[in-house]
């Protein structure tokens, strides 16, 4: 499987383009769907009532750092923010593939259970599912090779 970059799929809110990068020595994938960013990475901002384990998962995803900003050091169960090494570098979230997969699966379930209240469209659902399939493939390869994954985003 080749590394792949996807961009500009469907209408973007306010003309913004967000790329979520998931990378390890076993491969990488760049999610170019703003829907993925809005409804998966930023699900914690939707104001949903969540049980503690679900809150932990969506808060983990909300801590994925922006490539050009250093919001400080954070960590949790199976993940941590790694600060930039130099001015040419950026912060990343380092996570075990298992932990990231569990967080993404929880976010997916929460989103589908709350699709109407958060306003996700059928087109968004299709796009998010396709992106999740690609990300899960990278996580599977990283886990099989024994590598952690790095996650960040840039807009």
3-state secondary structure 13-73: HHHCCCEEEEEECCEEEEECCHHHHHHHHCHHHHCCCCCHHHHHHHHHHHCCCECCCCCCC
User: What value does the mean pLDDT of the chain take?
Assistant: 86
Higher pLDDT, 147 or 68: 147
Q: How many domains does the chain have?
A: 1
CA atoms of 97 and 90, how far apart (whole Å): 20
pLDDT in tens, 7-22: 333 333 333 678 899 9
- pLDDT confidence band for 84 (50 / 70 / 90): confident
Rounded to 5 degrees, what are φ and ψ at 88? -90, 0
Are the C-beta atoms of residues 140 and 13 closer than 8 Å to each other? Answer: no
Q: Residue 8: how many CA atoms within 13 Å on its side-chain side?
A: 1
65 close to 93: Cβ distance less than 8 angstroms: yes
151 DSSP β-pair partners: 22, 93
**Torsion angle, alpha carbons of 57, 99, 120, 154, to 10:** 100
Domain that holds residue 86: 4-154
Is the predicted pLDDT of residue 140 greater than 80, yes or no? yes
Instruction: Identify the pLDDT of residue 1.
Output: 35
């Amino acid at each position: 499987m080749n590394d792949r970059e996807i961009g500009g799929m469907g209408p973007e809110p306010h003309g913004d383009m967000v790329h979520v990068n998931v990378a390890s020595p076993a491969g990488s994938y760049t999610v170019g769907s703003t829907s993925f960013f809005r409804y998966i990475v930023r699900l914690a901002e939707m104001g949903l009532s969540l049980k503690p384990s679900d809150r932990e998962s969506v808060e983990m995803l909300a801590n994925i750092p922006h490539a050009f900003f250093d919001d400080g050091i954070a960590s949790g169960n199976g993940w941590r923010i790694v600060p930039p090494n130099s001015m040419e570098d950026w912060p990343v979230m380092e996570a075990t593939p298992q932990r990231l997969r569990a967080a993404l699966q929880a976010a997916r379930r929460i989103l589908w259970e709350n699709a109407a209240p958060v306003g996700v469209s059928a087109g968004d659902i299709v796009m998010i599912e396709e992106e999740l399939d690609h990300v899960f493939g990278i996580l599977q390869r990283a886990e099989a090779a024994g590598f952690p994954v790095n996650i960040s985003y840039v807009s």
